[in-house]
A and B are shown apart, each in its own frame.
Chain A
Amino acid sequence: MPVNTDAVGRSYGPHEPYEVTRVKIREFAEAVDARSFAHIDPDGALADGYDDVVAPTTFAVVIAQQAEFHVVVDPEVGVDFSKVVHADERFTHHRPIVAGDVISTTVHIDAITQRAGISMVTTRSELADADGAPVATVLSTLAVREDA
């Protein structure tokens, strides 16, 4: 069954907020070999002008992918996850993410285009802090094969 193009414009969440911790930032920084002390040392991060340890550039994917999951499992959208390949990703940071942030995310289906047996599903996750101020916008496109 192909992806349902009528799903464009749907939005999901915010669901349970994501609490950003020092431990998770350190773990992610080590996994992508981000070497700045500002990812692991709170005092060093303070000296660099941050309120706490700062997340690497693509850390927001941890939060965004949890939100995007609601799109993938929506039966009315019709994404078969075993036929999905990640096509592209874009992060726009309105401010850096730091430990202590409590992030609420709303994900929107911005576009679904179909061509040559492949559906391209573009989602936009809007991450906001506890005050409702924007933190990051994450655009992600999945390519879904329509073959049997």
Chain B
Amino acid sequence: MSDENLPAFDGLEVGQVVATRDVKITRDTLVRYAGASGDFNPIHYNDVFAQSVGLPGVIAHGMFTMGTAASVVEEWSGPGNVVDYQARFTRPIEVPNPGAATATVTAKVGALDPELRTARIDVTVEVDGARVLGKAQAIVTCA
């Protein structure tokens, strides 16, 4: 963390939405993430392979979804200020071709610790009204 860019603790309230973003996900998005992350599992770009292992088609990397959701938190918190971040991958995001899936990310204050001056940010990611991450929580150091 860096003291120069910490978000303000005072004024935060539980339930407050600190950031939100609609994320458009296409096959291009997944290929870009595969290259950047080094995760080349073919279920993320090859329909024939994905169907051979029982999936309806190509799905997004869980870590793409988790990472992109973190970017929404960081838009509020500043970079480098998330000290702990966890999520469960509860539902895959199918990514059509052609076309796009749209994920709605909402970052909300879930809890405040006045002694440590940290905020727990609860993150929801929804596709077609269904949540795709479980217990997605980020702990952010505040000033």
**Chain A residues close to B by CB (< 8 Å):** 24, 27-36, 38-39, 47-50, 54-58, 61-62, 65-66, 82-83, 85-93, 95-96, 139
**Selected A-B contacts with CB under 8 Å, 29 pairs:** A27-B35, A28-B36, A30-B36, A31-B36, A31-B64, A32-B67, A32-B68, A36-B75, A38-B79, A39-B79, A47-B4, A48-B4, A50-B2, A50-B80, A54-B2, A54-B79, A54-B80, A56-B70, A56-B74, A57-B70, A58-B85, A61-B63, A62-B37, A65-B37, A87-B88, A89-B66, A89-B87, A92-B84, A93-B82
CB neighbours of A82 from chain B (8 A): 53
Q: Which of A35, A36, A50, A65 contacts B39 (CB 8 A)?
A: A65
Instruction: Looking at the assembled complex, report how far the CB atom of A67 sits from the nearest CB atom of chain B, in whole angstroms.
Output: 12
Top 8 closest pairs, chain A to chain B, by CB: A49-B2, A31-B36, A90-B86, A96-B80, A32-B67, A57-B70, A49-B4, A58-B67
Name the contact of B84 in the complex, choosing from A27, A32, A34, A90 (C-beta under 8 A): A90
A83 surroundings in chain B (CB, below 8 A): 53
Q: Which residues of A contact B116 (CB under 8 A)?
A: none
B112 lies within 8 A of chain A by Cβ = no
In Å, the complex CA distance between A38 and B36 comes to 18
Across the interface, which residues of A come within 8 angstroms of B68, CB to CB? 32-33
Chain A residues contacting B2 (CB-CB under 8 Å) are 48-50, 54, 96
Residues of B within 8 Å of A90, CB to CB, are 84-87
Instruction: Scan residues 1-37 of chain B and give those whose CB is less than 8 A from a CB of chain A.
Output: 1-5, 23, 29, 32-33, 35-37
Docked pose: A35 CA to B82 CA in angstroms: 15
Interface residues of chain B, those whose CB is within 8 Å of chain A, are 1-5, 23, 29, 32-33, 35-39, 53, 62-64, 66-68, 70-71, 73-75, 78-80, 82-89, 138
B-side contacts of A32, CB under 8 Å: 33, 36, 64, 67-68, 70-71
Inter-chain contact A36/B70, CB cutoff 8 Å: no
Interfacial chain B residues near A58, Cβ < 8 Å: 63, 66-67, 70, 85
Please tell me if the beta carbons of B36 and A57 are within 8 angstroms of each other in the complex.
no
Closest to B37 in A: A62
B80 close to A86 (CB less than 8 A): no
A56 to B68, CA, bound (A): 10
Q: Are A86 and B63 in contact (CB under 8 A)?
A: yes
Q: Which residues of B contact A38 (CB under 8 A)?
A: 5, 78-80
